[in-house]
Structure 1
Amino acid sequence: MVNPTRGVLYPARLPLFHRLPATGAAADLAVWFWIPEWDIEPGRSSRQEVVAYPALNLVVEQSAVTLSGATTRASHRDLSGKGWAVGALLRPAAVGALADDAAALVDGEVRVDEPELRTAVTEAMASGEGRRERAAAAFSDWLVARVGPLGEPARQANGLVDALLGEHAASTPEEAATRLAVSVRTLQRMAHRHVGLSPAAMIRRRRLQEAAERLRADPALDLSLLAAEAGYADHAHLTRDFRRVLGITPRQYRADSAS
């Protein structure tokens, strides 16, 4: 199930925004394709703020293709004029074919020379009704061809993310390692190689996203109850995580989301 807004801090402020699930062979390589489109009045801009999934993104725009690493803080982008982007939230199995060192990309991005991808997606986005679906299909076809057949290590790396971020996700790295029948050290190496973050950091990001989503859905929610349900030790722990990653407290975020 594609969650349309998790990770987006202020969904009401978004331009036109879609998430399309990866299907077929591409489902092993991307979680979904995200597509914002905007047309903003001259002299104005729109700030889009996210607390991103702990993963890499491959992003196509008319002028470039970029590979963005996982992040350790909330990030933003200021949109102006008219434009679009088509991004793929990558699964670990795709990362090895696109990046030599995922950890080196944390909190950064690089341009990649993939003209066939840029041309295929740009042509799809220029084609009117159904453009987003065609763009996702073109991206999928390119990704499957670029990565090629998957070996067992790539599939095991996908299992790592499923254990840490999927439904009924593990609450600790030790639990995730047990589910995957590997040592905690092996789990750490897999996360470093394919995501660039530690398993513990990935779990913290999942909890923070869930907490932010709950606050948007229920502004009256008691923060101590939220902390307990999201897996935090206490209210203070939740507040520290919010302040460290978002730069604001849960109370401030709740107030900002309602405005």
Structure 2
Amino acid sequence: MGDPFSLAGAGTAYQEHLAPAPLRGHFGQLWQSQLAADAGGHITVLPDGCVDILWRDGTLLVVGPDRVAAHPALAPGAQVLGARFRPGQALAALGLPLADIVGQAVPLVELKAGWAVQAAGSIGDTAPAERLQRMAQCLQQHMGAAPIDAQAQRANVLFQQLASGQASLDALAARLNLSPRSLRRFSQAQFGYGAKTLERILRLQRFLRHGRAAPLHSLAMLAADAGYADQSHLSREARELAGMTAAELRLEWGQ
């Protein structure tokens, strides 16, 4: 969930905060989503190249990177809490190939995190308004310290450059001193899929950001601003990655 507009559903309230300083070695943002008491069913989560730790239904989960939109089912009034890993930090923190959890939600306890069951219960026993703070305390206790090593720094450069659209894959490979094939393997290790897929996902996220910043722009103008060849290219990518038209995406997330 790379930005507040990656998740939508009827009656969904979403808030995002910068992770507190003790957690910033691993995590960039903490967030929470609250469904209204009369709202439930499936929500839509767009791919964003990120990995999150979620508290949902009383369990701590690791949610791997998505290739296409996900549609988790939530009960009416459900609360979901999340901690989003910084680019490049999930691999180091979790110690498993991210390609193995693409599109999956895995209980954190299954990843040799025996503390996860007690922590999840502690979060659930806390008042709803204070649960995100309690989750942060649990993560700080068990996952707070994290060095930013060279591989994580390279992964962050790759992510930020693709998110901004400021460099081609060939240029990034040269900047990172990698061959195109090595860049693909590096991206698979750090993000769960190759750099080309990551580029497509982050370009779609860029379209959503531009749509919010320039609500009067046409789809053709936004497509050009986001780096698509033309509006038809945007339309194909929207359907393949999000399962909806570009106009529907803009209506749902670009307001």
1:223-242 counterparts in 2 under 5 A?
A: 223-242=219-238
Instruction: Summarize the Cα distance change of 1:162–1:250 in structure 2 as closer, same or farther, 3 Å threshold.
Output: closer
- Contact 1:26–1:141 (Cα < 8 Å) also in 2: no
Q: Please point out which of 27, 30, 33 is paired with 2:27.
A: 30
Distance in 2 separating the partners of 1:142 and 1:116: 8
In structure 1, what is the Cα distance between the partners aligned to 2:102 and 2:56?
21
Structure 1 counterpart SS, 2:71 = strand
- Point out where structure 2 has 5 or more consecutive residues left out of the alignment: none
Are the structure 2 counterparts of residues 67 and 257 from structure 1 closer, same or farther at C-alpha, using a change threshold of 3 Å? closer
* 2:59/2:120 contact within 8 Å kept: no
Query: How far apart are 1:74 and its partner, in Å?
Result: 1.2
Partner deviation per Cα, 1:148-200 (whole Å, 9 max, x = no partner): 545433333333323333xx454321222233343333322221112111112
Partner of 1:47: 42
Match of 1:106 among 99, 102, 108: 102
Question: Percent of aligned positions with the same letter in both sequences?
Answer: 23
Match of residue 119 from structure 2? 120
CA apart distance, 1:237: 0.7
Q: CA deviation at 1:124?
A: 4.7
* Equivalence for 1:135: 135
Query: After superposition, where does 1:105-254 map in structure 2 within 5 Å?
Result: 105-113=101-109, 114-120=113-119, 122-124=121-123, 126-127=126-127, 130-144=130-144, 148-165=146-163, 168-216=164-212, 218-254=214-250
Asked if the contact 1:61–1:118 (Cα under 8 Å) also holds between the matched residues in 2, the reply is: no
Q: 1:82 to 1:254 in 2, by over 3 A?
A: closer
CA contact (8 A) 1:172 1:203 kept: no
CA distance in 1, matches of 2:16, 2:127: 19
**1:124-158 residue CA offsets vs partner (Å, 9 max, x unmatched):** 5614655433432432342225xx54543333333
In the alignment, which residue of structure 2 is the partner of 1:84? 79
**Paired AA for residue 60 in structure 1:** W
Q: TM-score, normalised by structure 2?
A: 0.81
**Correspondence 1:68 to 2:49:** no
Mapped pair 1:16 → 2:37? no
Deviations 1:109-129 (A, max 9, x none): 222313524533553561465
Distance in 1 (alpha carbons) for counterparts of 2:246 and 2:179: 35
2:33 counterpart SS class: strand
**Mapped contact 1:70–1:106 kept (Cα < 8 A):** yes
Report the number of matched residues: 250
C-alpha displacement of 1:239: 0.9
Contact 2:5 2:254 in 1 (8 A): no
Q: Could you say what secondary structure the match of 2:67 adopts?
A: coil
> Shift in Å at residue 96 of structure 1?
3.2
SS at structure 2 position matched to 1:28: coil
Distance 2:176 2:11 in 1: 37
> Residue 173 and residue 216 in structure 1: after superposition, are their counterparts in 2 closer, same or farther (change >3 A)?
same
TM-score with structure 1 setting the length: 0.80
How large is the RMSD of aligned CA atoms in angstroms? 3.0
State the alpha-carbon separation in 2 of the partners of residues 115 and 185 from structure 1.
37
Question: In structure 1, how many angstroms separate the alpha carbons of the residues matched to 2:201 and 2:228?
Answer: 12
For structure 1, which runs of at least 5 residues remain unmatched after alignment?
A: none
Is the 2:239–2:245 Cα contact (8 Å) retained in structure 1?
yes
